Amino acid sequence: MTRSKSGSLAILFSSAAALGAASGALANDPRGSDDDPDFGVNVCGGLPSHAALRFALTQAQSQQNGGFGLEMWGTVVNRDGVVCAVAFTGSDRGQQWPGSRVISAQKANTANAFSLPGLALSTANLYFATQPGGSLYGLQHSNPVDTEVAYRGPAAAFGTRNDPMVGFRIGGVNVFGGGLALYNAAHVLVGAIGVSGDSSCADHNIAWRTRTNLKLDHVPSGVSGDAARPDNIVYDLIPQVGQQSGVSASGWGHPQCSALATSIAANLTPTAH
């Protein structure tokens, strides 16, 4: 069977058109382009911009939080786990622990991944249950961080509006304080925030205050036992011989970092209703 020259050209142009259409589809995917001007509208609607996150995070970090007063990283993900914003509080990216950038994203992913429209779980709530012998032991090894997303460059863009993680799913599970689910005024679960850079207890307090500043704290219920603060960190670990961290009476306990951090957590602004 032979094919005419005009027929071959038609097939060629048809293939080129198909490739163009595929490229256009990729451009509309969150992973398709970091510079998609519609990215924030289409994927991150209702979530804070980079500027809003940085402002709220900086305001929260500037308060006494029971830690070392260190500069912080913060990350927001949407309900699908796509990174929408990454920010830091210092004058440049070197003023925070470099490793905390990805940890903040991991915490955001965790709080989103294990919260529901009717039940919020903070990363702090997962600590005790994921220890050896706990009911959720091994959870911290599931859903690993996508290292290609975590360490793509350029590093000069880390923590800026064009952070290379933005538009990608980071993954990861973290089981200590600093990650909180985000619920809007309509009580809709829209994603989560993760904060890292200080002690895990201070991270929780800073994340809480950041969420309050963003007015995304309309939390329906949680496991803390505090109706005013449903997904608050729980400090009920009772020391026991042979148990490094002790035993949690509630099953959702977290180790104490300092007496001040514990006191601050107990008096954090109640969630909105």
Q: DSSP per residue over 106-129, as a string?
A: HHHHHHHHT-BTTB---GGGGTGG
Domain 35-266 matching CATH 3.30.450.150: the answer reads: yes
Q: Which of 176-180, 240-244, 264-268 has the lowest mean pLDDT?
A: 240-244
Rounded (5°) CA angle 197-94-141: 45
Residue 243 has a pLDDT of 64
pTM: 0.84
d(CA 221, CA 65): 24
Q: Is the pLDDT of residue 20 over 80?
A: no
- Check residue 96 and give its pLDDT: 98
pLDDT at position 134 is 85
* SS3 state of residue 165: coil
pLDDT recorded at residue 235? 97
**Tokens for 153?**
């460059």
135/24: higher pLDDT = 135
Residue 104 in 3-state DSSP?
A: helix
The pLDDT > 90 percentage for the chain reads 77
What is the rounded distance in angstroms from the CA atom of residue 89 to the CA atom of residue 54? 7
Reported as a pLDDT band with limits 50, 70 and 90, residue 18 is very low
Indicate left, alpha or beta for 172 from its phi (over 0: left) and psi (-120 to 50: alpha).
Answer: left
pLDDT digits (tens, 9 = 90+) for 218-261: 999 999 999 999 999 999 998 777 666 788 989 999 999 999 99
Amino acid at 189: L
For residue 192, what is the DSSP state? Answer: E
pLDDT at 142 over 60: yes
Q: Where are the domains of the chain?
A: 35-266
Q: Would you place residue 22 in the very low, low, confident or very high pLDDT band (cuts 50, 70, 90)?
A: very low
SS3 150: helix
